[in-house]
Amino acid sequence: MDIAEWRKKIDELDRKMVELLNERAKAAQEIGRLKRSTAMPIYEPDREKKIFENVKAVNQGPLSSLDVTQVFERIIDIMRNLQKNEIVADEKQKLSGGTEFDVDVNE
């Protein structure tokens, strides 16, 4: 393949990765909602350790285990922020006495 064909392949892979990242984000938001209702902590180091172990176990290169771990550290950080936003939105709603819709509109 020439450069143009490789770039086209990368563009398609990027589209797929965005789709998967957004699917993962939706799952993280739902987990955030469940954590909110059960008062579970957002940060769960044992769970994050398990994720890192899982992704390193399936890694076949050419990325190193360190590279894969660093990518997932950032992904997890973003997902954790999504979960925090779920809890903050709920707390704002309770304090204001409004609906979830009101919180979204007034921010």
CATH number of the domain at 7, please.
1.20.59.10
Q: Is the pTM of this model over 0.85?
A: no
Residues of the domain holding 41? 3-106
Read off the amino acid at residue 1: M
DSSP 39: T
**Number of independent structural domains in the chain:** 1
Secondary structure class of 54 (helix, strand, coil): helix
pLDDT digits 0-9 by tens, 3-55:
999 999 999 999 999 999 999 999 999 998 898 888 889 899 999 999 999 99
- Map tokens 């894969």 to a residue: 68
- Map tokens 């973003």 to a residue: 78
Nearest to 90 by CA among 79, 100, 80: 100
